[in-house]
């Protein structure tokens, strides 16, 4: 039986970097892509990586893995409603955070500093590196790893920032975009997966993945913070708290959405009567909070779907045939929720000694492993180190190793390798 082919995708979209003979005639190439992500060790490791609060914080908070699964559910449904192949979007969503190191964005900053002289570190560029090199599934004729060897369409959909370091579009205030999606040493496969795409333009599946990430991040992380007693929705009705949220958005996410639009977004959210205040954690309150998150997700998804359909009509929208349209009001409402998380969770923790210790831990590990390598590296990374052409490539192998660790294993490695012996 020949598997069905989704409209809007051609043979080039189904190509793989290393040619393979299909092992199953009952699954599409895109279904195989999704299966490879589900069975990958990189996805499993997300269970013990920080999302916003650490995995050991309590039994309610989301980890990178549970966040990823929620992004995939939101993205798959939105993509399907627009005519995207749902497995392409699902794969991109499952992959979107694979490259994040231990301790979330806190760890990302530490590794970016450690790798500053070799092209930096960025979770999104690390994701592409995992998909095309580090996560073992397919080996080419020369004995080199091709990673999961996903199709061109799935790989392209997984690239949130399709440019190298310093090459992204400037922000509205003229500041350079610190995000990027590819390291220089991965440029060959990046050029292959981007064949036919205009520079810096994302396919619609990547845009759906990005919006699903924003929606899940903003809604679910606020839910975690409410249950943890860090946020009260009453803040959105208080002028002092509203100003704090706006300031957090402008500082962390830039000035693209001005303060007056953020205040108007807070007015709309308060006026929607979705909130509960004085949360105490009863089952009834938990149920109401879950209904709030569901309504917010539906509100944002419907707004994007409606605006996109209004512009492009009812046919299937795939690859570069359309762009996702997200109304400015929806963008502002999502930013307000992000601002709540920044103002009351992420911002205050920056000054906590724990977060400096986490950065120091990863910095120490890079230094110790770089000095001892290949000793201390896992066999695959030790082989990368041994085959490296220069000191920069050897340091990259060490950074790859540290980035692959979970929060738990990073602490264990640090205790074993970097702490001075007790006297």
**Average pLDDT score over residue span 266-278:** 85
- Position 13 scores a pLDDT of 97
Domain with CATH 1.10.3210.10 in the chain: 13-193
Q: What angle do CA 118, 120, 123 make, to 5 degrees?
A: 135
- Position 2 scores a pLDDT of 41
Residue 348 binned pLDDT confidence (cut-offs 50, 70, 90): low
- Position 344 scores a pLDDT of 87
Q: How far is CA 358 from CA 3, 55, 178, 179, 352, in A?
A: 48, 14, 22, 22, 11
> Does residue 51 surpass a pLDDT of 70?
no
Query: By the 8 A CB rule, do 189 and 132 touch?
Result: yes
**Average pLDDT score over residue span 218-227:** 85
Higher pLDDT, 194 or 422: 194
- Position 422 scores a pLDDT of 44
- Position 144 scores a pLDDT of 93
Contacts of 213 (CB under 8 A, 6+ apart): 71, 75, 93, 96, 160
Residue 54 binned pLDDT confidence (cut-offs 50, 70, 90): very low
Q: Which of 229-233, 317-321, 337-341 has the highest mean pLDDT?
A: 317-321
- Position 60 scores a pLDDT of 46
Give the mean pLDDT of the chain: 90
Task: Output the six-digit token pair for 13.
Answer: 């979209």
CATH architecture of 13-193: Orthogonal Bundle (1.10)
- Position 4 scores a pLDDT of 46
């Amino acid at each position: 039986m020949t598997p069905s082919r989704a409209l809007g995708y051609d043979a080039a979209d189904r190509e793989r970097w290393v040619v393979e003979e299909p092992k199953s005639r009952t699954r599409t190439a895109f279904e195989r892509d999704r299966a490879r992500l589900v069975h990958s060790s990189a996805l499993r490791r997300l269970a013990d990586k920080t999302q916003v609060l650490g995995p050991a914080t309590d039994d309610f908070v989301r980890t990178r893995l549970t966040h990823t699964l929620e992004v995939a559910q939101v993205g798959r449904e939105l993509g399907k409603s627009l005519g995207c192949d749902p497995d392409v979007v699902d794969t991109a969503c499952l992959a979107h955070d694979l490259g994040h190191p231990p301790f979330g964005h806190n760890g990302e900053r530490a590794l970016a500093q450690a790798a500053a002289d070799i092209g930096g570190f960025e979770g999104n560029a690390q994701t592409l590196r995992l998909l095309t090199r580090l996560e073992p599934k397919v080996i080419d004729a020369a004995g080199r790893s091709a990673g999961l060897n996903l199709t061109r369409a799935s790989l392209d959909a997984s690239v949130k920032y399709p440019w190298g370091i310093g090459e992204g579009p400037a922000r509205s205030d003229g500041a350079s975009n610190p995000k990027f999606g590819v390291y220089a040493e991965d440029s060959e496969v990046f050029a292959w997966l981007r064949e036919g795409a205009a520079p810096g333009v994302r396919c619609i599946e990547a845009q759906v993945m990005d919006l699903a990430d924003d929606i899940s991040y903003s809604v679910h992380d606020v839910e975690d913070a409410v249950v943890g007693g860090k946020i009260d929705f009453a803040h959105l009705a208080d002028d002092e708290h509203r100003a704090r949220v706006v300031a957090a958005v402008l500082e962390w996410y830039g000035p693209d959405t001005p303060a007056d639009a953020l205040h108007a977004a807070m007015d709309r959210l308060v006026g929607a009567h979705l909130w509960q205040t004085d949360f105490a954690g009863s089952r009834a309150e938990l149920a109401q909070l879950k209904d709030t998150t569901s309504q917010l997700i539906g509100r944002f998804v419907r707004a994007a779907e409606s605006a996109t359909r209004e512009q492009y009509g009812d046919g299937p929208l795939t690859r570069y045939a359309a762009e996702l349209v997200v109304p400015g009001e929806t963008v502002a409402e999502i930013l307000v929720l992000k601002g709540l998380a920044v103002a009351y969770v992420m911002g205050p923790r920056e000054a906590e000694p724990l977060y400096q210790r986490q950065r120091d831990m990863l910095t120490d590990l890079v230094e110790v492993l770089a000095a001892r390598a290949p000793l201390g590296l896992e066999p695959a990374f030790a082989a990368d180190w041994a085959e490296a052409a220069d000191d920069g490539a050897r340091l990259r192998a060490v950074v790859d190793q540290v980035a692959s660790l979970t929060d738990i294993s990073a602490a264990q490695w640090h205790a074993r390798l970097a702490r001075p012996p007790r006297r």
